[in-house]
C-alpha cells in the first residue's frame, strides 16, 4: 500500500471536520451585510406585479452554491407578487433554471404563463442580450417548452427591456459583466446579480460605479437572504460547512507557518 | 487572395456592427436584430460543429494510440449519447436527457469543483508562508477575508467585517479597476488592429 503523505492527512482532516460540523447541525447566527440588504430592499421596493427577468448564467459545477441564492431570490420575488421571465445564456443553466422556477412557483401557487414564463437558452450571450434589447419575441419566438411567445398573457406587453423592471443575473462567472456592459449601458435596464462568492470582487467596481445596482454573493449571501426572508434553507445549512472549512484552512495556514519558522530557526542555529 | 477576402469581410462586418451599435435609425436597428438573431446563431452552429469534430478526432487518435483508452471511450460515447437522447426524447422536463444531466453531469461537475477545497487546504498548509513583508500582508488579508466570509468573523470582533470591506473597497478594487481598464483598452486596440488588417495572426500568421 502506498504510504500516506502530509497532504493526504490534510485532505482527510478537512473531510472529517466538514462531516462532523454537518452532523452536529449547529445553528450559527448570521449578520446581514449591507450589500445583501440592498438587494433585498431593491426587490422589496418594486411595485407588486413588476416584471423581472431572471437569467441563469451558470454552469452545473456551481449548483451547490448558486441554488440557495437562486431559490432565495425567486422566493422573495414570488412572495412580493412580481412576474418572472426566466432565460439562460449558458446551456448548462437552462434545465436548472427551469426546475428552480417551477419549484418556487409551486410553493407560491403561481400560474405558468400568467406569473412566470421560462424562455430557455439562447446561444451567443452578447448577441442574445443585445437582441432582447431590440425585441424579446424575435429573440425567443417560443418558450422553453416550445409554445409560442404570443400564447402567454404575461408576455403580451413585454416587447423589450423597456417593459422589464430589472434583470437579475444568477451567475458563477463573468456573464453578469455582459448584462452590465450591454443591457444596462445600451438599454438602461437596471441590472442586479446573485453570484458565486469567488466572483464578488470582480463586480465590486460595477457596484461602486452604480452600473450594477445590487449584488448578493456566495453561500453567506444566501444565508443572509434566508434570514431576511425568515425562512430556513440550504444557504444557512451550507454556511456550517463553509465556516468549518474556512476555520480549517486558517488552522492549516497557521500550522504551516509554525512549521516553516521552526525549521528556519533550526537551520539558522545549525 | 485567400487572405485578402477574409480580411475584407472582417473589416466590413466589424465596421458595420460598430456603426449599427450606435445608430437609432429603424433600418439600422432592424439590420442589427437580423445579424444578432440569424448570422450570429449560424456562426455559433458552425463553431460548435468544428468543436465536436475536433474533440472526436483528438479522442479517437488517442484511443488508437492506446493512451487511457477507457477515458477517451467514455468521452466519445458521451458526445454521441447526449445528442441522441435529445433528438429522440427531447430535452425538456423529465426526458432521459435531463435525467442524465441532473443525475450524472451536475453531481460530477459539482464534485470536481468541490475537490478544489481540498487542494486549497493542502496548499494553505504547504505554500502560504510569511516569507517576506508582501507575503505577510497577503496572508493577513487572506485570513481576514476567510473569517469575514464565515460566521465566526462577526462573533470574534465587529471590526473583522469592516476591515474585510475596506480591503475589498480600496486595495482590491483599485487593482480590479486597473485590470478592467487594461482589458478594455487592450480589446479596443486589438479589435482595431484586426479590422484594419495589422493583426493577422487569426489568419494563421504573417506569411
Cα angle for residues B157, B162, B165 (degrees, 5° grid): 140
Question: Strands A214-217, A166-171: parallel, antiparallel or unpaired by DSSP?
Answer: unpaired
> Mind telling me how many Å the CA of B95 is from chain A's nearest CA?
11
Contact B91 A95 (CB under 8 A): yes
pLDDT at A16 over 70: yes
Q: pLDDT digit string (tens) for B38-75? A: 898 899 889 999 999 999 999 999 999 988 899 999 99
Whose cell is 473531510? That residue is: A15
d(CA B95, CA B103): 12
Contact status of A20 with chain B (Cβ, < 8 Å): no
d(CA A55, CA A86): 6
d(CA A221, CA B149): 9
Judging contacts by C-beta atoms under 8 Å, the chain B residues touching residue A245 are 117, 121
Burial of A2 (0-12, 13-18, 19+ CB in 10 A): exposed
E-assigned strand segments in A19-131: 51-57, 83-88, 116-121
Judging contacts by C-beta atoms under 8 Å, the chain B residues touching residue A14 are 117-118, 121
pLDDT at B206 over 70: no
Contact A14 B102 (CB under 8 A): no
Residue ranges per structural domain of chain A: 1-28+234-270, 31-232
Q: Are A175 and A125 in contact (CB under 8 A)?
A: yes
Cα dist. A125→A75, A174, B53, B80, B188 in Å? 26, 11, 23, 25, 19
**Dihedral sign, Cα of residue A18, residue A19, residue A23, residue A24:** negative
pLDDT at B207 over 60: no
Q: Give the nearest partner residue to A60 out of B44, B109, B131, using CB atoms.
A: B109
Cell numbers of A149, please?
A: 411567445
**Dihedral sign, Cα of residue B171, residue B175, residue B180, residue B181:** positive
> Mind telling me how many Å the CA of A47 is from chain B's nearest CA?
30
CATH number of this structure's domain A31-232, picked from the four choices 1.20.144, 1.10.3450, 3.40.50, 3.30.1480: 3.40.50
Contact A253 B142 (CB under 8 A): yes
A-chain residue closest to B158, CA distance = A31
pLDDT at B10 over 80: yes
d(CA A98, CA A143): 11
d(CA A250, CA A255): 9
Q: Up-side HSE of residue A156: CA atoms within 13 Å toward CB?
A: 6
Contact A95 B110 (CB under 8 A): no
Residues 106-165 of A with CB under 8 A from B: 123-124, 127-128, 130-131, 134-135, 138-139, 144-146
> Mind telling me how many Å the CA of A81 is from chain B's nearest CA?
25
Q: pLDDT digit string (tens) for B144-192? A: 999 998 888 888 888 999 999 999 999 999 999 999 999 999 999 999 9
Q: pLDDT digit string (tens) for A167-183? A: 999 999 999 999 999 99
How much is the pLDDT for A261? Answer: 93
Q: pLDDT digit string (tens) for B79-134? A: 999 999 999 998 877 889 989 988 999 899 989 988 999 999 999 988 889 999 99
SS3 category, A14: helix
- Per-residue b or e along B119-136, where b marks 16 or more CB atoms closer than 10 Å to that residue's CB: ebbbbbbeebbbeeeeee
Cell numbers of A143, please?
A: 418558450
pLDDT at A270 over 70: yes
> Mind telling me how many Å the CA of B124 is from chain A's nearest CA?
5
d(CA A241, CA B40): 43
d(CA B188, CA B18): 12
Query: What percent of chain A has pLDDT above 70?
Result: 100
Judging contacts by C-beta atoms under 8 Å, the chain A residues touching residue B177 are 205
Contact status of B114 with chain A (Cβ, < 8 Å): yes
Q: A189 or B44, which is more confident?
A: A189
Contact B33 A138 (CB under 8 A): yes
Q: Are B133 and A261 in contact (CB under 8 A)?
A: no
Q: pLDDT digit string (tens) for A38-95? A: 999 999 999 999 999 999 999 999 999 999 999 999 999 999 999 999 999 999 999 8
Q: pLDDT digit string (tens) for A126-136? A: 999 999 999 99
Identify any residues that bridge with A85 across adjacent strands, giving them in sequence order: A53, A117
How much is the pLDDT for B93? Answer: 72
Q: pLDDT digit string (tens) for B144-155? A: 999 998 888 888
Cell numbers of B207, please?
A: 506569411
Helices (H), A80-180: 91-107, 125-134, 136-139, 175-178
Amino acid at each position: 500500500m502506498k504510504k500516506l503523505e502530509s497532504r493526504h492527512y490534510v485532505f482527510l482532516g478537512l473531510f472529517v471536520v466538514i462531516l462532523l460540523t454537518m452532523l452536529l447541525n449547529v445553528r450559527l447566527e448570521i449578520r446581514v451585510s449591507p450589500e445583501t440588504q440592498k438587494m433585498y430592499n431593491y426587490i422589496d421596493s418594486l411595485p407588486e406585479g413588476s416584471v423581472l427577468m431572471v437569467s441563469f448564467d451558470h454552469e452545473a459545477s456551481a449548483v451547490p452554491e448558486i441554488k440557495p441564492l437562486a431559490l432565495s431570490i425567486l422566493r422573495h420575488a414570488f412572495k412580493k407578487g412580481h412576474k418572472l421571465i426566466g432565460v439562460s445564456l449558458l446551456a448548462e443553466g437552462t434545465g436548472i433554471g427551469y426546475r428552480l422556477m417551477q419549484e418556487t412557483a409551486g410553493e407560491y401557487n403561481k400560474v405558468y404563463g400568467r406569473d412566470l414564463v421560462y424562455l430557455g437558452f439562447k446561444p451567443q450571450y452578447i448577441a442574445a442580450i443585445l437582441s432582447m434589447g431590440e425585441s424579446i419575441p424575435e429573440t425567443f419566438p417560443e418558450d422553453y417548452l416550445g409554445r409560442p411567445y404570443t400564447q402567454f398573457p404575461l408576455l403580451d406587453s413585454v416587447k423589450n427591456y423597456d417593459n422589464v423592471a430589472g434583470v437579475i443575473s444568477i451567475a458563477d462567472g463573468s456573464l453578469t459583466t455582459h448584462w452590465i456592459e450591454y443591457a444596462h449601458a445600451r438599454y438602461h435596464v437596471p441590472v442586479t446579480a446573485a453570484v458565486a462568492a469567488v466572483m464578488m470582487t470582480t463586480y465590486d467596481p460595477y457596484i461602486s460605479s452604480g452600473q450594477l445596482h445590487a449584488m448578493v454573493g456566495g453561500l453567506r449571501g444566501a444565508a443572509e437572504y434566508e434570514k431576511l426572508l425568515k425562512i430556513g434553507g440550504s444557504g444557512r445549512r451550507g454556511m456550517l460547512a463553509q465556516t468549518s472549512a474556512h476555520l480549517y484552512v486558517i488552522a492549516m495556514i497557521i500550522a504551516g507557518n509554525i512549521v516553516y519558522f521552526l525549521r528556519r530557526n533550526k537551520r539558522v542555529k545549525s | 487572395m485567400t487572405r485578402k477576402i477574409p480580411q475584407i469581410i472582417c473589416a466590413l462586418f466589424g465596421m458595420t456592427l460598430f456603426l449599427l451599435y450606435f445608430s437609432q435609425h429603424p433600418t439600422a436597428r432592424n439590420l442589427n436584430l437580423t445579424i444578432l438573431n440569424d448570422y450570429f446563431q449560424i456562426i455559433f452552429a458552425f463553431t460548435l460543429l468544428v468543436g465536436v469534430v475536433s474533440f472526436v478526432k483528438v479522442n479517437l487518435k488517442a484511443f488508437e494510440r492506446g493512451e487511457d483508452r477507457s477515458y477517451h471511450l467514455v468521452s466519445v460515447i458521451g458526445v454521441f449519447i447526449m445528442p441522441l437522447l435529445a433528438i429522440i426524447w427531447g430535452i425538456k422536463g423529465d426526458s432521459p436527457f435531463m435525467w442524465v444531466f441532473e443525475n450524472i453531469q451536475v453531481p460530477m461537475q459539482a464534485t470536481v469543483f468541490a475537490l478544489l477545497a481540498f487542494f486549497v487546504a493542502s496548499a494553505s498548509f504547504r505554500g502560504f508562508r510569511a516569507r517576506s513583508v508582501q507575503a505577510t500582508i497577503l496572508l493577513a488579508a487572506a485570513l481576514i477575508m476567510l473569517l469575514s466570509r464565515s460566521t465566526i468573523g462577526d462573533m470574534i470582533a465587529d471590526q473583522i467585517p469592516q476591515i474585510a470591506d475596506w480591503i475589498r473597497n480600496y486595495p482590491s478594487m483599485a487593482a480590479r479597476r486597473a485590470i478592467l481598464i487594461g482589458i478594455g483598452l487592450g480589446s479596443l486596440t486589438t479589435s482595431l488592429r484586426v479590422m484594419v488588417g495589422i493583426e493577422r495572426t487569426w489568419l494563421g500568421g504573417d506569411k
